[in-house]
Amino acid sequence: MSLLAHAASAVFLMISVQVQAALPEFQDLVERVAPSVVNIATRSEKKPERLQQAPDLDQLPPFFREFFERGLPGPSQEREGRSLGSGFIVSADGYILTNNHVVEGADTVLVRLNDRREYQAQIVGTDPRSDIALLKIEAEQLPVVRLADSDKVRAGQWVIAIGSPFGFDYSVTAGIVSALGRSLPPENYVPFIQTDVAINPGNSGGPLFNLEGEVIGINSQIFTRSGGFMGLSFAIPTNLVMNVADQLKSDGIVKRGWLGVLIQEVNRELALSFGLKKPMGALIAQASASGPAGKAGIKAGDVVVAFNGKIVDRSSDLPPMVGLVKPGTTVPVDIVRAGSQITLQVTIEQLPDSKEVVGRNESQPDKALNIIGMVVGQLPDGLKQELGLNNGVLIKEILGNPARAAGLRSGDVVTQIGGDLVDSLTALRGIVKSLPKDRPIPILVVRGGDSTFLTLRLGR
């Protein structure tokens, strides 16, 4: 072997040793934290599902008659439903955290500890919005997890999960944090931690640990097309978990902050049109006049760039920030309006239990006008009242660009162009005549009851 080959081999061996030395070892960590992890089994008595109309057994052949007689449940028969999940102990006197979907609908919840002791648990409270449940067992001097500040979690750091995937108790899987602040449908009040840790059915409700043995989140969801792990797992951050748990323990319900706005992401063209140096923040597409934001002077077209002292980099950052604020608290909200940054004081209110969903009727405009590639008409009073609008014109038909290129549709209600309110067809004509042709122009429309900003370029 040549001298060069020997040198290359030595370098490769040295690099291999360095890589192996850099990989963490989890043995001591797992031994230390595993006693605070629990297995959760639930049982629910479900009434049997019966056929709407029972077949006439005397009219069936013998084989089918025997099949139906054996298969039909008797009057007192019930089916027992079971589910399996994980959890972890947060207090020595028996408080345990898990996912709401693990215990939802359960008549009996059984908790099994690492030392095989079993307890029947009481459900203290649940919060479906964040998928968190707080349980209590009658026990003392239990091993307790340590909790991390989830705001300090960083993408790329090592993490491990302990749980009961498919019923295999105390299985350990490891990986890294893939991303932070993920917003998943249908609820956007949870800034999920995304990891590549192998999570499967049964891991739900279990802890996600950092290398210091601290819990940074509750394993809650996976992205899958097969029902099993595909490399995308999501955990609820500890700071949000404990905020919810403390409220469940003290009040039995969770009260979230509410700003009273509809928001959207700021893309490159919207950032340019609103005078931002780069795409960032949460663009206010609609602000309820009777909501906290409206009362404080926030309006459609404002871009929230900071909330309560924290930077709002993406629109998905804002709802969790607002949700964590105690209703009644006044916080500073930094917005960009017409290229200038200002700070408003907003008193946060409690998130309503349900949202008002407004539909759109099919009233046709009495008059139409062909402007910038679209036919528009006056907004009927009935539709205006139904949508809760004070101004706007109705798009009856899209004829071509630039309206088509902007993504406008028939049925949209245009309420604002370039920061100017559109309250009549005459006003719209005047606004269009003064619009610049060398840059994108923000246009605010109401579609299906929701407000959204699009960008219009007159040169298209």
Give residue limits of the domains in the chain.
36-136, 146-250, 257-350, 369-456
Write down the pLDDT at residue 123. 94
Averaged pLDDT for residues 119-133: 93
The domain over range 369-456 is classified in CATH as 2.30.42.10:
yes
Write down the pLDDT at residue 259. 92
Look at 245-249, 296-300, 418-422 and tell me which has the smallest mean pLDDT: 418-422
Strands (E), 348-419: 349-350, 369-371, 374-378, 393-398, 413-417
Residue 285 has pLDDT above 80, yes or no: yes
Averaged pLDDT for residues 435-449: 84
Write down the pLDDT at residue 261. 86
Write down the pLDDT at residue 423. 84
Write down the pLDDT at residue 362. 33
Residue 79 has pLDDT above 90, yes or no: no
Averaged pLDDT for residues 122-127: 94
Closest CA to 406 of 459, 449, 367: 459
Supply the CATH classification number for the domain 146-250. Answer: 2.40.10.10
Averaged pLDDT for residues 278-298: 89
| H-helix segments, 53-161 | 62-71, 100-103
Write down the pLDDT at residue 64. 41
Given the DSSP bridges, would you call strands 214-222 and 146-147 parallel, antiparallel or unpaired? parallel
Look at 89-98, 127-136, 360-369, 446-455 and tell me which has the smallest mean pLDDT: 360-369
Distance of alpha carbon 101 from alpha carbon 40, whole angstroms = 12
Architecture of domain 36-136: Beta Barrel (2.40)
Supply the CATH classification number for the domain 257-350. Answer: 2.30.42.10
Residue 207 has pLDDT above 80, yes or no: yes
Residue 387 CB contacts under 8 Å (≥ 6 apart), including other chains? 358, 360, 413, 446, 449
Of the two residues 45 and 279, the one the predictor is more confident about is 279
Is there a shared CATH topology between the 146-250 domain and the 369-456 domain? Answer: no
Look at 128-142, 236-250, 330-344, 422-436 and tell me which has the smallest mean pLDDT: 422-436
Structure tokens that stand for 408 in this block:
């406008």
Look at 165-169, 266-270, 353-357, 394-398 and tell me which has the smallest mean pLDDT: 353-357
Percent of the chain topping pLDDT 70: 81
Structure tokens that stand for 324 in this block:
């964590």
Residue 154 has pLDDT above 90, yes or no: yes
Residue 267 has pLDDT above 80, yes or no: yes
Strands (E), 294-390: 303-307, 310-311, 330-337, 340-347, 349-350, 369-371, 374-378
Catalytic residue positions?
101, 131, 204
Distance of alpha carbon 69 from alpha carbon 258, whole angstroms = 56
CB of 395 within 8 A of CB of 375? Answer: yes
Residue 73 has pLDDT above 60, yes or no: no
Distance of alpha carbon 426 from alpha carbon 154, whole angstroms = 53
